[in-house]
């Protein structure tokens, strides 16, 4: 089994890359795909860059050219559920593109992908369960929640309380980020199991730009611990 591991930003993959026994690097579409052994598993580790287009391109390359069997996307997100606090962890059950809106056609929901007739893309149940169990192990000595639920994605850094309220009322879900649903759509189209793991780095409100920088390193560390322990059990 070969596992693809994606992070949008350098800080989200650097701890994993430090541990990787590098065998080869493929440079493609402006991305470096690091191939090697991590915790005795064959992996491809990559920084996709921020946004849905980057995430989609990255995922397709992992599947087509590097033949990964499963995909984990790890990183940080902004909370839209009021029960979440910074450092809490969200494991995706499904993902929605909140900025997809073809409802003007009159018969489509906001978030629905035309022609696919789908609003959400479901993560793999086995990967969800494994990530949840390990997340609880990693955080059991800390006051941190691990929840499973819907994650929203869009090409927007959300930093407005009114927008947070709108997203929550329209889609439900726990957090918002900028890549996961694109990974989910590509994985769905290619019948590839995936899961998205997000550590909460901010509350997606007017203080988001401040708290993001302050907490992103801690959040990335938790994601690193979960991913490496998942590799031990896969």
Active site amino acids: 12, 202
Q: Read off φ and ψ for residue 25, nearest 5 degrees.
A: -130, 125
Q: Length of the chain, please? A: 234
C-alpha distances out from residue 72 to 6, 21, 47, 130, 176, Å: 6, 18, 12, 12, 17
C-alpha distances out from residue 152 to 3, 68, 140, 157, 230, Å: 23, 24, 26, 12, 23
- CA dist 230 and 49 (Å) reads 23
Residue 13 in contact with residue 7, Cβ under 8 Å?
yes
- Give the burial class of 27: count Cβ atoms within 10 A of its Cβ; 0-12 exposed, 13-18 middle, 19 or more buried: exposed
Instruction: Locate all alpha helices (DSSP H) within the chain, ordered by sequence.
Output: 10-19, 52-64, 125-139, 161-171, 180-189, 208-233
């Amino acid at each position: 089994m070969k596992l693809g591991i994606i992070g949008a930003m350098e800080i989200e993959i650097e701890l994993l890359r430090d541990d990787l026994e590098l065998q080869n690097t493929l440079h493609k579409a402006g991305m470096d795909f690091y191939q090697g052994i991590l915790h005795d598993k064959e992996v491809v580790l990559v920084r996709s860059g921020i946004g849905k287009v980057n995430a989609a391109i990255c995922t397709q390359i992992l599947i087509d050219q590097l033949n990964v069997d499963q995909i984990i996307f790890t990183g940080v997100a902004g909370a839209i559920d009021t029960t979440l606090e910074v450092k809490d962890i969200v494991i995706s059950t499904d993902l929605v593109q909140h900025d997809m809106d073809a409802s003007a056609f009159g018969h489509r929901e906001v978030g629905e992908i035309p022609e696919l007739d789908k609003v959400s893309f479901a993560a793999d149940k086995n990967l969800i369960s494994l990530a949840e169990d390990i997340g609880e192990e990693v955080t059991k000595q800390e006051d941190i929640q691990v929840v499973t639920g819907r994650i929203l994605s869009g090409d927007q850094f959300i930093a407005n309380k009114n927008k947070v309220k709108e997203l929550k009322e329209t889609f439900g879900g726990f957090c918002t980020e900028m890549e996961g649903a694109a990974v989910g759509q590509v994985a769905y189209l290619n019948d590839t199991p995936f899961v998205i793991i997000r550590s909460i780095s901010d509350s997606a409100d007017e203080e988001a730009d401040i708290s993001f920088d302050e907490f992103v390193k801690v959040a990335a560390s938790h994601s690193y611990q979960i991913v490496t322990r998942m590799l031990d059990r896969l």
